[in-house]
């Protein structure tokens, strides 16, 4: 897929459905993609932290991305592909992921250089990766966890000006950094997709392109409404942002099992099996998720005029 920019809006951080034996539930993968795109997602971010990336085998990562691309039917899919090791190996994985059909191959910022590397050393390593992957559209993901590396506004601007980057999933969670980094992408093809649910409206006002965080699994239609209507309906956008920030606490509980249970409640035929962490949910967790479903469906009816569906 050759595109110059990615659409603005929501890119759900895709969960991976598993069967009880913890093999990938491929029909479930299709159903989750259908849910996202049927609920106004602009695209899909596959093979990410929410996908339980560390638990996927090397080959599964590419198989999963290819399956999502096929099911998305032309909607843009981005997927991670720098999994550590020598840059030559990372470059090979970038090209292999591109061959899977994704619109942009996402660079995990923590994997480019050693944890103690300076920003200039990191940039030198990135330039080497660019040389090894000439022509491949790329993105960034400031993946949480060990050795998390945030890009500075200056680093983001420098990479945006190469013309190679289309997607940046930001996990700064700081209003000052979010503003500076979103503005650093202005006038370039690089889209700034905030992962921090409580500050999405702020980032949109600063030039951000949309949202790509865990709550996009739950109510992509509401995030899409916020991204598409914040200018024309500022008061309703403020009210929705407030609700989304509060609901984030429920969305993050027992994640990703909670997200899988929620999707099942919305009609997506998947189970809660996880390779990372427990898949068991207490009765109180399920009651909270059921309440969240009711709140979301009411908001979708009021804002969008229709409820979500699988």
Spatial distance between the Cα atoms of 239 and 4, rounded to a whole number of angstroms? 34
CATH code at 9-231? 3.20.20.70
What is the pLDDT tens value at each position of the chain, 310 positions in all? 456 899 999 999 999 999 999 999 999 999 999 999 999 999 999 999 999 999 999 999 999 999 999 999 999 999 999 999 999 999 999 999 999 999 999 999 999 999 889 999 999 999 999 999 999 999 999 999 888 999 999 999 999 999 999 999 999 999 999 999 999 999 999 999 999 999 999 999 999 999 999 999 999 999 999 999 999 999 999 999 999 999 999 999 899 999 999 999 999 999 999 999 777 899 999 999 999 999 999 999 999 975 545 5
Spatial distance between the Cα atoms of 234 and 216, rounded to a whole number of angstroms? 21
Residue 162, SS3?
A: coil
Element (H, E) at 97: helix 87-99
pLDDT of residue 280: 83
Spatial distance between the Cα atoms of 232 and 280, rounded to a whole number of angstroms? 42
- Residue whose tokens read 């890119």: 11
pLDDT of residue 306: 57
Largest Cα separation within the chain, whole Å, is 53
- pTM: predicted TM-score of the whole model, two decimal places: 0.95
Cα distances (angstroms) measured from residue 231 to each of 40, 41, 226, 228, 259:
18, 19, 9, 8, 30
* Cβ proximity of 72 and 43 under 8 Å: yes
Spatial distance between the Cα atoms of 140 and 138, rounded to a whole number of angstroms? 7
Instruction: Give the bridge partners for 77, in sequence order.
Output: 44
* Cβ proximity of 228 and 239 under 8 Å: no
How many CA atoms lie less than 13 Å away from 88 in the CB half-sphere? 0
Q: At what angle do helices 87-99 and 58-72 cross, to 10 degrees?
A: 30
Concatenating the DSSP letter of every residue in 99-151 gives: HTT-SEEEEEGGGSS-TT--HHHHHHHHHHHHHHTTT--EEEE---STT--PP
Q: How buried is residue 96: exposed, middle or buried, by Cβ count under 10 Å (0-12/13-18/19+)?
A: middle
């Amino acid at each position: 897929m050759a595109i110059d920019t990615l659409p603005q809006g929501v890119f759900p951080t895709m969960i991976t459905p598993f069967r009880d034996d913890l093999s990938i539930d491929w029909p479930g993968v299709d159903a989750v993609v259908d849910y996202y795109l049927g609920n106004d997602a602009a695209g899909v971010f596959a093979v990410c932290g929410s996908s339980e990336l560390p638990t996927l085998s090397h080959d599964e990562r590419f198989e999963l991305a290819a399956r999502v691309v096929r099911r998305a039917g032309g909607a843009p899919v981005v997927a991670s592909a720098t999994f550590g090791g020598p840059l030559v190996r990372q470059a090979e994985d970038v090209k292999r992921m591109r061959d899977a059909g994704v619109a942009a191959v996402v660079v995990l910022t923590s994997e480019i250089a050693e944890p103690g590397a300076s920003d200039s050393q990191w940039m030198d390593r990135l330039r080497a990766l660019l040389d090894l992957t000439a022509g491949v559209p790329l993105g960034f993901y400031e993946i949480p966890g060990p050795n998390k590396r945030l890009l500075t506004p200056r680093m983001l601007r420098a990479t945006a000006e190469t013309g190679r980057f289309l997607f940046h999933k930001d996990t700064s969670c700081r209003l000052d950094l979010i503003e500076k980094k979103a503005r650093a992408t202005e006038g370039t093809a690089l889209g700034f997709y905030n992962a921090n649910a409580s500050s999405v409206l702020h980032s949109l006002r600063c030039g951000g392109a949309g949202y790509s965080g865990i709550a996009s699994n739950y109510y992509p239609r509401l995030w899409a409404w916020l991204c598409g209507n914040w200018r024309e309906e500022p008061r309703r956008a403020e009210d929705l942002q407030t609700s989304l920030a509060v609901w984030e606490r429920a969305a993050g509980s027992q994640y990703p099992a909670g997200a899988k249970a929620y999707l099942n409640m919305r009609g997506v035929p998947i189970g809660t099996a996880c390779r990372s962490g427990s898949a068991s949910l207490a009765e109180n967790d399920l009651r909270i998720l059921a309440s969240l479903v009711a709140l979301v469906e009411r908001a979708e009816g009021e804002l969008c005029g229709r409820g979500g569906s699988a």
